[in-house]
């Protein structure tokens, strides 16, 4: 009579241990990737306001609002939005594609000043700044920021970064603000729908994250 062979308890235990180690390794790897993404996104929110005020400190005018950029840099484009004089506020939508908008020219001024990296040619396909998730990044005055309900922010300017998954956005808010997407200086918003922020963002849904500074 043939006896059917099977796994012993020891062999099963070894298989389960190996499977557990593999699963733990995969989860740890995913956690490391997520943390790296959040750190990269957070660096934008830390660095871009620093570039912004670094420009102001050097030239005594805001990038984008600089109506003498051609005197400061070779190839600089003077701001002409609405024919206004320098008023200390960035005009135009945070994601403007209008070549004369201050919010659009801001990136050229920062790059020509050597404060930010990227193409300084406004016609270049690489001119529009993007975050590590491929979403657009922009800066404008709070008064011109249509992405949030008026009165949400008390500061003069805000930076926005689009296409950020809810789980990363929540980590960002915890790292840089109060951990709530509908209060504080950072707000987690449904892109294209003005509001004051989402209290409970969906982990797998993309959001627009704006922070005042």
Q: Please give the helix or strand (H or E) that residue 157 lies within, else none.
A: strand 157-165
Number of H helices, E strands in the chain: 4, 4
CA angle 109, 113, 118 (to 5 degrees): 70
How is residue 84 written in tokens? 């206004």
What's the confidence (pLDDT) of residue 79? Answer: 87
Would you say 145 and 210 are in contact if contact means Cβ atoms under 8 Å apart? yes
Q: Which residues does the chain have with pLDDT short of 50? A: none
Strands (E), 41-149: 137-141
Query: Residue 17's Cα: distance from chain center in Å?
Result: 41
pTM listed for this prediction: 0.84
Q: Please give the helix or strand (H or E) that residue 188 lies within, else none.
A: strand 186-189
What's the confidence (pLDDT) of residue 6? Answer: 63
Is the Cα dihedral 4, 6, 9, 11 positive or negative? positive
Query: Residue 195's Cα: distance from chain center in Å?
Result: 18
How is residue 122 written in tokens? 């406004």
Beta-carbon contacts of 38 under 8 Å, excluding residues fewer than 6 positions away, are: 168, 171, 172, 175
Burial of 145 (0-12, 13-18, 19+ CB in 10 A): buried
Mean pLDDT of all residues belonging to the chain:
91
């Amino acid at each position: 009579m043939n006896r059917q062979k099977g796994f012993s308890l020891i062999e099963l235990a070894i298989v389960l241990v190996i499977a557990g180690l593999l699963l733990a390794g995969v989860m740890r790897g995913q956690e490391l990737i997520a943390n790296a993404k959040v750190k990269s996104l957070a660096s934008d929110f830390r660095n871009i306001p620093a570039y912004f005020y670094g420009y102001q400190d050097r030239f005594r005018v805001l990038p984008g609002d600089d109506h003498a950029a051609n005197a400061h840099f070779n190839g600089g484009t003077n701001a002409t939005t609405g024919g206004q004089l320098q008023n200390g506020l960035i005009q135009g939508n945070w994601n403007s594609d209008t070549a004369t908008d201050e919010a659009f020219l801001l990136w050229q001024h920062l790059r020509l000043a050597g404060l930010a990296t990227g193409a300084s040619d406004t016609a270049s396909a690489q001119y529009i700044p993007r975050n590590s998730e491929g979403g657009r990044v922009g800066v404008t005055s709070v008064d011109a920021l249509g992405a949030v309900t008026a009165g949400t922010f008390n500061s003069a300017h805000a930076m926005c970064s689009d296409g950020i998954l809810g789980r990363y956005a929540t980590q960002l808010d915890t790292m840089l603000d109060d951990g709530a997407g509908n209060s504080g200086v950072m707000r987690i918003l449904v892109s294209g729908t003005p509001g004051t922020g989402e209290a409970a963002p969906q982990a797998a849904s993309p959001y627009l994250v704006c922070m005042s500074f």
